Amino acid sequence: MTTKKVAYCFAPDASSYQLSETHPMVPERVNMTHELVQNYRMFPRMTIIKPHPATEEQLKRVHLPGYIDYLKKVSPIATLGLGDLYPCLQADDCPMFTGVYDYSASIVGASIACANRINHGRSNVCINWAGGMHHAKRRVASGFCYANDIAAAILELLMCHRRVMYVDIDLHHGDGVEEYFYNTNRVMTLSFHRFGNNFFPGTGAIKNSGVGPGKDYAINVPLQKGIDDDQYIYLFKNILNKAMERFQPEALVMQMGADSVVGDLLGDFNLTNKGHASCLENALSYNLPTIVLGGGGYSVKNVARTWTLETATILGLELDNQLPTNSYFGHLPEDSTLYIPPVKMSNSNTNKSIRKVLRKVTEILDRTEI
């Protein structure tokens, strides 16, 4: 592997907020990751960037102006945990909180900064662990996501790249990003997700594969509870390989939601963090200019473990299983290691169902034409 020029975007202001008293989305997990990456001594190996918050104009490229004006207006006076009903915000999942506008602007600003590094060829890979807010829609917040940093970064990449590939391994369907680019053949969206019984957000069936010029450019891989490393990696490698062959992208955006890792508070997959990271390693092997974003992840120590491991994967480093001293992890034995083992649990994906998903997705990709 050739060593890549890596940039790491970190906006401390994005990780200092709390959505509500009991909200599962804990922005602090990005600070935990930051400290582990620092204590594993990875920072000398990459360029650290302190991004600017997105401007109002940048936010309005991906959102309805009225929605952004509203976020800005209500942001300073909103109180934590009031649980009030606001238009454009979904009561419990997307509560209003003090600073919601600044929080959103700094996440979007960081992902746009990544895209600019890539556009100017200053980095091969650019990381924003605070990003990956794939559910936010043009006129509404959804699923813990207020502003769609991913769509903003992809729009920026499209100014310098003919075709952009978006790959989403968050537990949830990347519905917001899919919707923005549903009718274009310049962006292929590929999401792997838990699907069925109205699992949030409920979209992402295989057959929903794009419209108009975007037909066969939205690829969905629905999965069931308990999927293990072997099955997940088998699907990931085969589908991404086929998608790359058909679509020939010039840039890649990876959404690395860590709620697909075993033990997640909101998830029920049996994927280890090594398995999760090996998907990234496989995607990086295509040697495309790449933006790597965070996303979901609700067992916060596991999120920090996963994204730390993945930062090392990007740098081509092996990490010691023994975590370095840090201020978040305690002294219990289960708190001292980096790698997350699989558990014994039922797996609703059979090798037969996995092969069937691969066959159906391949049928769509066989029709994708550039």
Which is nearer to ligand TV7, 40 or 144 (by Cβ)? Answer: 144
Asked whether 145 and 94 are in contact (CB, 8 A), the reply is yes
**204 contributes a contact to Zn ion by CB under 5 A:** no
Name the one range near Zn ion by CB under 5 A: 2-10, 19-27, 59-67, 162-170. Answer: 162-170
State residue 194 phi and psi, 5-degree precision.
-65, 135
Cα(173)–Cα(234) distance, integer angstroms: 19
**86 contributes a contact to ligand TV7 by CB under 6 A:** no
Min CB(80)–ligand TV7 separation in Å? 12
**289 contributes a contact to Zn ion by CB under 5 A:** no
- Angle between the N-to-C axes of helices 229-247 and 351-367, in degrees from 0 to 180, rounded to the nearest 10: 10
Residues 118 to 157: which contact Zn ion by CB under 5 A?
none
**161 contributes a contact to Zn ion by CB under 5 A:** no
Picked from ligand TV7, Ca ion, Zn ion, none, the partner binding residue 168 (CB below 5 to 8 A depending on kind) is Ca ion
Residues 193 to 232: which contact ligand TV7 by CB under 6 A?
200
* Tokens of residue 152, six digits: 């903003």
**Sheet arrangement for strand 218-223:** 47-49, 6-9, 125-128, 290-293, 251-255, 164-168, 187-194, 218-223
Which is nearer to ligand TV7, 146 or 181 (by Cβ)? Answer: 146
Asked whether 190 and 237 are in contact (CB, 8 A), the reply is no
Round the CA-based radius of gyration of the chain to a whole number and report it.
19
Min CB(317)–ligand TV7 separation in Å? 27
Choose which of 13, 149, 156, 170 interacts with ligand TV7 (CB under 6 A).
170
Which is nearer to Zn ion, 249 or 296 (by Cβ)? Answer: 296
First to last CA, the chain: 29
Name the one range near Ca ion by CB under 5 A: 162-170, 207-215, 223-231, 267-275. Answer: 162-170
Choose which of 13, 93, 168, 310 interacts with Ca ion (CB under 5 A).
168
Angle at 103 between CA 262 and CA 142, to 5 degrees: 60
Cα(194)–Cα(183) distance, integer angstroms: 24
**310 contributes a contact to ligand TV7 by CB under 6 A:** no
Closest CA to 104 of 11, 204, 7: 11
Handedness of CA 107, 113, 116, 121 (dihedral sign): negative
Min CB(46)–ligand TV7 separation in Å? 24
Name the DSSP class of 20. S
Picked from Zn ion, Ca ion, ligand TV7, none, the partner binding residue 310 (CB below 5 to 8 A depending on kind) is none
Choose which of 156, 259, 264, 268 interacts with Zn ion (CB under 5 A).
259
- CA distances in angstroms from 245 to 24, 241, 249, 286, listed in the order given: 38, 6, 9, 10
Which is nearer to ligand TV7, 266 or 358 (by Cβ)? Answer: 266
Choose which of 102, 156, 170, 175 interacts with Ca ion (CB under 5 A).
170
Closest CA to 276 of 304, 319, 316, 307: 307
**257 contributes a contact to ligand TV7 by CB under 6 A:** yes
Cis ω before 201 (30° cut-off from 0) = yes
Reply yes or no on whether 135 is catalytic: yes
**144 contributes a contact to ligand TV7 by CB under 6 A:** yes
List residues binding Ca ion (CB under 5 A).
Answer: 168, 170, 191, 193
Q: Which residues are catalytic?
A: 135
List residues binding ligand TV7 (CB under 6 A).
Answer: 20, 22-24, 92-93, 134-135, 143-145, 170, 172, 200, 257, 259, 266, 295-296
